[in-house]
Amino acid sequence: MTTFPLPLAELLGHWESYIVYVVIGFLFGYILEISGFGNAMKLAPQFYFKDLTVLKVMFGAIVTAMVLIFLTTSVGLLDYNLIWVNPTYLWPGIVGGLVMGVGFILGGFCPGTSLVSAATLKIDGIFFVGGVLFGILMFGETVGLYENFWHSSYLGRYTLMDWLGLSTGVVVLLVVLMALFMFWGAEQLERVVGGRELTREPRWRYGAAGALVLGAGLLVVLGQPDTATRWSWLLDTEGARLANREVQIHPGELLDTIHNDDINLLMFDVRSEQDYNLFHIQDAQHKTVAEMPLLAKALQLAPANTVVVVMSNDETAATEAWKILRAESVNNVYILEGGINNWLAIFANPEWQAAQGAAGVAGDEPLRYAFTAALGSQYPWASPVPENFELVYTPKIKLELKRSPGGGGCG
């Protein structure tokens, strides 16, 4: 199933995709301008409760986008994992919001609207943009003095659903109801403070409010797709890759990748903690299959040259982990072919193998070698030297176009 957002660079080409970005940026700026948001006299009155158009427009856009995003996500048209959500740095965010708010009150613009104003050659907008640029320069020159605070209270991709522990549909419905209450309150303030005649306001806004509530209510019923559902949408393509063994990489390829400085390699060992403590490849991190959905959130923000390899004693548990990561939109994920048992068969000392023999332990993909001590990665074959082995294999690792969340910014 093809999902949005589309990989524009792949479909159109790197430079051609910039045409789309320029068109979207122009249209956004044009809408702000015709809405009066390039005029400080239109923006500043919101802080005096005389004209709250900015609040209503911005929150109207937010709740509309929110309902549409999660409705399309619920039916598989949009991949929410590929949408940029600003990482939360709680206290720096609060301080930054206060600084920006004070600047908005004093100057009458936010950064986005100041650019619109400057583009139409308004003097105050040009001066405000100059102040923004000067502030950026000063921040760059002084951030070292408060860098620890700047990076403090990091919560990652932290949403209202994570904070409240509620389902997406319920949170969306609550936010929509809160926004509608704010709109009603804003109109009352405009009537009392600004002398606005509410009878002249368009009546279609009631229909729009009803549509928002209806959409949010539908979300409560539909819910959001779980990992199993997301995997079912990928079954035709990713299931074929799995069956054709396009994602199971030879231990020799993993060893060469470990020593490839151009690749940011992350290895996750999903075996039991006992087996992991007995032996694991150097730098492999112990994770459980149940931890994969949470891990996927971090991997979605990893650098574009990141390659992920999951491993178990054979391939069963690693395959389950691979399915979860792929269902959660993590690219460049591979499975260690034959698992740790195959790694040991290729790289472990032959005398050690003969002495240990096959453990013959019953159960689901058991560790087939008997270890007398839990030395983890202290064995020589946990980090073999590539030059000591002449291995023939078919390379399978290909860095796919990383459809990860793109950067966001303030409008």
Domain chopping of the chain, boundaries = 8-226, 228-388
Of residues 408 and 77, more confidently modeled: 77
Residue-level pLDDT at 411: 47
Residue 373 has pLDDT above 80, yes or no: yes
Residue 117 has pLDDT above 60, yes or no: yes
User: At what angle are helices 204-222 and 168-192 packed, to 10 degrees?
Assistant: 160
Polymer length in residues for the chain: 411
**Is the separation of the CB atoms in 272 and 299 below 8 Å?**
no
**Is the separation of the CB atoms in 216 and 166 below 8 Å?**
no
- Please tell me the distance from the alpha carbon of residue 244 to that of residue 227, in angstroms, as a whole number: 22
Name residue 12's amino acid: L
- Please tell me the distance from the alpha carbon of residue 407 to that of residue 132, in angstroms, as a whole number: 20
Enumerate long-range contacts of 50-58, CB under 8 Å, 24 or more apart: 50/190, 50/193, 50/194, 51/190, 51/194, 51/196, 52/186, 52/187, 52/189, 52/190, 55/182, 55/186, 56/183, 56/186
Q: Give the whole-number percent of the chain exceeding pLDDT 70.
A: 95
Residue-level pLDDT at 243: 96
Question: For residue 406, what pLDDT band results from cuts at 50, 70 and 90?
Answer: low
Q: Is 128 exposed, middle or buried (0-12, 13-18, 19+ CB in 10 A)?
A: buried
**Is the separation of the CB atoms in 336 and 254 below 8 Å?**
yes
Q: Among 325, 190, 350, 212, which Cα is nearest to 266's?
A: 325
Residue 363 has pLDDT above 50, yes or no: yes
Task: Report which listed range, 2-16, 148-162, 250-264, 362-376, is most confident.
Answer: 250-264
**Is the separation of the CB atoms in 61 and 28 below 8 Å?**
no
**Strand pairing class (333-336; 285-286):** unpaired
Q: Among 38, 3, 27, 197, which Cα is nearest to 115's?
A: 38
Mean pLDDT throughout 83-90?
Answer: 88
Residue 407 has pLDDT above 60, yes or no: no
pLDDT tens per residue across span 201-235:
888 999 999 999 999 999 999 999 999 999 999 99
pLDDT tens per residue across span 333-352:
999 999 999 999 999 988 88
Residue-level pLDDT at 201: 85
End-to-end CA distance of the chain: 32
Q: Is 65 exposed, middle or buried (0-12, 13-18, 19+ CB in 10 A)?
A: exposed
296 phi and psi angles, rounded to 5 deg = -60, -35
Residue 12 has pLDDT above 70, yes or no: yes
Residue 156 has pLDDT above 90, yes or no: no
Helix and strand totals (H; E) in the chain: 18, 7
Q: Does domain 228-388 have CATH number 3.40.250.10?
A: yes
Q: Is 283 left (phi over 0), alpha (psi -120 to 50) or beta?
A: left
Residue 123 has pLDDT above 90, yes or no: yes
160 phi and psi angles, rounded to 5 deg = -60, -35
Question: For residue 405, what pLDDT band results from cuts at 50, 70 and 90?
Answer: low
What pTM value is reported for the model? 0.81
| pLDDT, averaged across the chain | 90
- Please tell me the distance from the alpha carbon of residue 280 to that of residue 339, in angstroms, as a whole number: 11
Which residue, chain included where needed, has tokens 């009155």? 45
- Please tell me the distance from the alpha carbon of residue 394 to that of residue 329, in angstroms, as a whole number: 25
pLDDT tens per residue across span 281-302:
999 999 999 999 999 988 988 8
Residue-level pLDDT at 241: 95
Q: Give the whole-number percent of the chain exceeding pLDDT 90.
A: 71
Name residue 272's amino acid: S
Residue 74 has pLDDT above 50, yes or no: yes
Q: Among 278, 268, 269, 310, which Cα is nearest to 379's?
A: 278
Q: Is 141 left (phi over 0), alpha (psi -120 to 50) or beta?
A: alpha
Residue 26 has pLDDT above 60, yes or no: yes
Q: Is 358 exposed, middle or buried (0-12, 13-18, 19+ CB in 10 A)?
A: exposed
Kindly report the CA angle at 313 between 279 and 323, in degrees rounded to 5? 125
The secondary structure of residue 308, as a DSSP letter, is: E
Question: For residue 318, what pLDDT band results from cuts at 50, 70 and 90?
Answer: very high
